[in-house]
Amino acid sequence: MRALLALLVLGISSGAHAQALPIFDAHLHYSHDAWELVPVPQALEILRKAGVKRALISSSGDEGQQRLYQAAPELVIPELRPYRARADVGTWFRDESVIPYLEDRLRKYKYAGIGEFHLYGADADLPVPRRMVELARKHNLFLHAHSDVDAVERLFRQWPQARILWAHAGFDRPERVAEMLKKHRNLWADLAFRTDHASNDKVDPAWRTVFLQFPDRFMVGTDSYTPERWHYVQGHADWSRRWLADLPREVAERIAWKNGEQVFGSLLAPY
Amino acid sequence: MEKRRTGLWLVACAVLSFPAWPCTPSGEGTKLESARYVLAYKTEAIEVAKHFSIDIAACAKPGQPEPAGIKVDAQMPEHRHGMNYAAEVKPLGPGRWRAEGLMFHMPGRWEFVFEIRAAGVTERLASSFQLSSLLDFSKDELARILQHGPWPPPLKPDPSNRVSGRPEAIALGEKLFFEPRLSGTGSVLCATCHAPWRLYQDARARAFGLELVERNTPTVVNVRFYRWFGWDGAQDSLWAQSIRPLLDAREMRATPSHIAKTVRALFPKDYEQAFGRPVPQNDEEVLVDVGKALAAFQETLVSGRTPFDQFRDSLQKGGTTDYPLAAQRGLRIFVGKGNCSVCHFGPQFTNSEFADTGVPFFIAPGKVDPGRQAGIEKLKQSPFNLLGRYNDDRAGASATGTKHLQAQHRNFGEFRVPGLRGVAQTAPYMHNGSLATLADVVRFYSELNEERLHADGEKILKPLHLTPQEAEDLRAFLESLSAR
């Protein structure tokens, strides 16, 4: 009977915890096509209503997240994307005009990182990405890389002390992600746009092992790559809370918000 | 006698196969000979209604004046007409020319006519050319084309619906489909939106039963072949889908008790004949059976054979075809560089699943239609899903898809891949009716906005960058998917 009561108490506690769990959303975009459809007050309201404590936000062009940051510096952490429009996603790494663009923005505004950028394989060693890494080093910025293992390795070779947030954990297998996290202590991973780590609110066994092995290296993120997906921030936060409730509390809290807060929270002083 | 004949034949073959040309034109291709000249011509691949050019070389036989110029034309002797365009001949060097701007605007036997001018005399050479009415589809293309048939496919009863295929249930379903008193207001019927004379849709961008809704009315012709029902797949059977609009306040605004009362009052005998029992007292049971009768009727709505089906079957049998070349070229795009057939797969031209092709899905400021993502949630919570008590399939196999269904982030903003049979008759298009014509749909995919697609989303979705001719061809193919 006592055991049953204890279980009930634990269950209630776990449920309450899942309800209240704040979220650090490490993967949001507020790009040009979103500014009219999801105005700044509405975007901020969406974040607050979803219980998002802070959010790492980039945009194409860069003006979007600056608008958000100015309106809510306590909520928004800006990243600088090397894209003036989202269409640059497949061309930026060969476009030399990207560098003066980044330099100009870095002169004018504060950022926690450069990204999210899309970069694969040997393209990481092209002159434009190399120069971008130099800028990140100069300004002491994170790199938020939507990359495969090869490109991540190349980025670390260019700058061994780099701190990289690996977007979508590279869409790679949990075992491979674990290898990378073990090899690079300055590598973190966001789980945006992935569902393979949890099914029916239960954590996949292979992923559970990795989460428990590296509880301080994961973050969650919505990935609002179209304006409509801002309206998924709440749904994504709810979904994240449900599967995180299947992990030990401390691990869940770390992945939900503590890791993001610890890694990025102190990088920018509010205006 | 026999030997001599054979010998003569062999000699004739040798002469035909290895002519001793009296001069050698400085170009490759088909060779023609006149009294004074030898001419060789080579064309690009010629297709109907596509401009092409010809390279020509000519030489004078010994003792004859060299060609001074050449004129090129073509005609269809059997049709007694020529081309609609005049070829322009440009000299490329001594004895060589290129004729540009030719176009054969229909298949059949054409005749090239070359007129060589020299020393005030014109000499005419002619050569036949058969323009095929069948494109040279590759083995791979043929295999993909054949996957879109045969039509109609075998019709199997729905195991989840115990009256599927039963004539009495079909008859009751038809009555119910056209019965306004089923609606809560007594003013709308299923056929208000699914109008038979409009291929069982309404030609509106967004449906309007009792109020305007967010989505386009899909046709219910061929609806029996889907795995999921509705633009969001929130139902996993046709009978459950048939219940949904009855209860929706914006569509038919009925309640289970109203439906049951109406059936008891108007159709007690029809019900008993269809279901083999009196109308039960439980309202929800009656509601479900109304859905099942409606489904039995809608299962009979299968489209007829189309020009594409005739073509597809003739390809399989190796017969002849009068399927227009424009439609054939469009079909080639559909199964080839367009990658359309990857999702619009099989005889129904749909994989019966869901996709985000970049169609915006805001429905009002600050409000979106989450599509499949919410559809999955609704399905899981529905008392009428195939995992519930109303599934008549005791074996349970029909519920496999529902059991294993799992929502993913990409489902947000995904909508059903619609079947394309009769597509020319079901404008406007897309889940929200945002594209008015088939040409608009083709343009949408030709200019696909990649910015709206996730970098790790479906890789086959790329802007097709179709030429105006290709866009027209693709439209011609889509139009051939309607029954005559």
Q: Let me know if residue B314 belongs to a domain.
A: yes
What one-character-per-residue DSSP string does A136-201 give? HHHHT-EEEEEE-HHHHHHHHHH-TT--EEEGGGGG--HHHHHHHHHH-TTEEEE-TT--TTEETT
Tens of pLDDT, residue by residue over A198-248, are 998 999 999 999 999 999 999 999 999 999 999 999 999 999 999 999 999
Nearest CB to A37 within list B362, B406, B410 = B362
The contacts of residue B371 (CB under 8 Å, 6+ apart) are B231, B232, B354, B356, B361, B411, B412, B413, B414, B415, B431
Query: In this complex, is the C-beta atom of A232 within 8 Å of any C-beta atom belonging to chain B?
Result: yes
Q: Are residues B98 and B197 in the same domain?
A: no
φ, ψ for residue B232, nearest 5 deg:
-105, 0
**pLDDT score at B4:** 35
Q: Are residues B144 and B250 in the same domain?
A: no
φ, ψ for residue A105, nearest 5 deg:
-65, -40
Cβ distance B451 to A33 less than 8 Å, yes or no, reads: yes
| Amino acid (1-letter code) at residue B26 | S
Tens of pLDDT, residue by residue over A194-204, are 999 999 899 99
Which residues on chain A are in Cβ contact (under 8 Å) with B410?
193
A91 CB-contact burial (10 Å; exposed 0-12 / middle 13-18 / buried 19+): exposed
Domains with residue ranges and CATH for chain A: 2-264 (3.20.20.140)
Query: In this complex, is the C-beta atom of B362 within 8 Å of any C-beta atom belonging to chain A?
Result: yes
SS (H, E, C) A227-243: HHHHHHHHHHHHHHHHH
B399: left (phi over 0), alpha (psi -120 to 50) or beta: alpha
Residue B452 pLDDT more than 70? yes
Residue B234 pLDDT level (bands cut at 50, 70, 90): very high
Which residues on chain B are in Cβ contact (under 8 Å) with A37?
362, 365
Query: In this complex, is the C-beta atom of A194 within 8 Å of any C-beta atom belonging to chain B?
Result: yes
- Determine which of A86-100, B396-410, B453-467 has the lowest per-residue pLDDT on average: B453-467
Query: In this complex, is the C-beta atom of B455 within 8 Å of any C-beta atom belonging to chain A?
Result: yes
Q: Let me know if residue B366 belongs to a domain.
A: no
Give bridge partners of residue B126 from the DSSP assignment: B113
d(CA A105, CA A32): 16
Tens of pLDDT, residue by residue over B209-225, are 999 999 999 999 999 99
Q: Are residues B106 and B198 in the same domain?
A: no
Residue A103 pLDDT more than 70? yes
**pLDDT score at A10:** 43
Q: Are residues B279 and B387 in the same domain?
A: yes
- Of residues A11 and A116, more confidence is placed in A116
Q: What is the CATH number of the domain that holds B30?
A: 2.60.40.1930
Q: Are residues B76 and B86 in the same domain?
A: yes
B318 CB-contact burial (10 Å; exposed 0-12 / middle 13-18 / buried 19+): exposed
Q: Let me know if residue B16 belongs to a domain.
A: no
Query: Average pLDDT, stretch B349-372?
Result: 95
Which residues on chain A are in Cβ contact (under 8 Å) with B454?
193, 223, 225
Please answer whether residues B276 and B282 qualify as being in contact, where contact means their C-beta atoms are separated by less than 8 angstroms: no
Cβ distance B450 to A87 less than 8 Å, yes or no, reads: yes
**pLDDT score at B22:** 76
Q: Are residues B271 and B336 in the same domain?
A: no
Cβ distance B406 to A223 less than 8 Å, yes or no, reads: no
User: How many domains does chain B fold into?
Assistant: 3
Residue A264 pLDDT more than 80? yes
Q: Let me know if residue B82 belongs to a domain.
A: yes
- Of residues A5 and A136, more confidence is placed in A136
- Residue B205 is encoded by which pair of tokens? 């961008």
Q: Are residues B211 and B230 in the same domain?
A: yes
Query: Average pLDDT, stretch B77-85?
Result: 87
Query: Which of residues 12 through 31 in chain A touch B, CB cutoff 8 A?
Result: 31
Query: In this complex, is the C-beta atom of A225 within 8 Å of any C-beta atom belonging to chain B?
Result: yes
Residue B457 pLDDT level (bands cut at 50, 70, 90): low
Query: Average pLDDT, stretch B363-376?
Result: 96
Query: Average pLDDT, stretch B276-292?
Result: 98
d(CA A193, CA B410): 7
Find the DSSP H helices in B435-479: 438-446, 468-479
**pLDDT score at B48:** 74
Residue with tokens 């406007």: B428
- Side-chain-side CA neighbours of A93 within 13 Å: the count stands at 21
Q: Which residue out of B361, B372, B409, B415 would a mutagenesis test of the A interface target, given it has the greatest number of A Cβ atoms within 10 Å?
A: B409
Residue B227 pLDDT more than 90? yes
Query: In this complex, is the C-beta atom of B368 within 8 Å of any C-beta atom belonging to chain A?
Result: yes
- Determine which of B45-49, B76-80, B81-85, B392-396 has the lowest per-residue pLDDT on average: B45-49
A171 → chain B, closest CA residue: B456
Residue B377 pLDDT level (bands cut at 50, 70, 90): very high
Which residues on chain B are in Cβ contact (under 8 Å) with A33?
451
- Determine which of A16-20, A104-108, B164-168, B180-184 has the lowest per-residue pLDDT on average: A16-20
Where in B12-120 does DSSP place strands (E)? Answer: 30-33, 37-43, 51-60, 69-76, 81-82, 88-93, 96-103, 108-118
Chain B: closest CA distance from residue A238 (Å): 12
Cβ distance A193 to B454 less than 8 Å, yes or no, reads: yes
pLDDT > 70 fraction of chain A, expressed in percent and rounded: 91
Query: In this complex, is the C-beta atom of A231 within 8 Å of any C-beta atom belonging to chain B?
Result: yes
Please answer whether residues B186 and B198 qualify as being in contact, where contact means their C-beta atoms are separated by less than 8 angstroms: no
**pLDDT score at B49:** 78
Domain that holds residue B96: 23-131
Which residues on chain A are in Cβ contact (under 8 Å) with B452?
225-226
Chain A: closest CA distance from residue B251 (Å): 26
Cβ distance B409 to A199 less than 8 Å, yes or no, reads: no
Chain B: closest CA distance from residue A204 (Å): 14
**pLDDT score at B458:** 64
The contacts of residue B269 (CB under 8 Å, 6+ apart) are none
The contacts of residue B204 (CB under 8 Å, 6+ apart) are B216, B217, B428, B433
- Of residues B370 and B4, more confidence is placed in B370
- Determine which of A147-151, B101-105, B143-147 has the lowest per-residue pLDDT on average: B101-105
Tens of pLDDT, residue by residue over B5-24, are 333 333 333 333 345 677 88
Query: Average pLDDT, stretch B320-346?
Result: 92
For the beta sheet containing A164-166, the strands, ordered from the edge strand earlier in sequence to the opposite edge, are: A23-29, A52-58, A76-80, A113-119, A142-147, A164-166, A187-190, A218-219
Q: What is the CATH number of the domain that holds B196?
A: 1.10.760.10
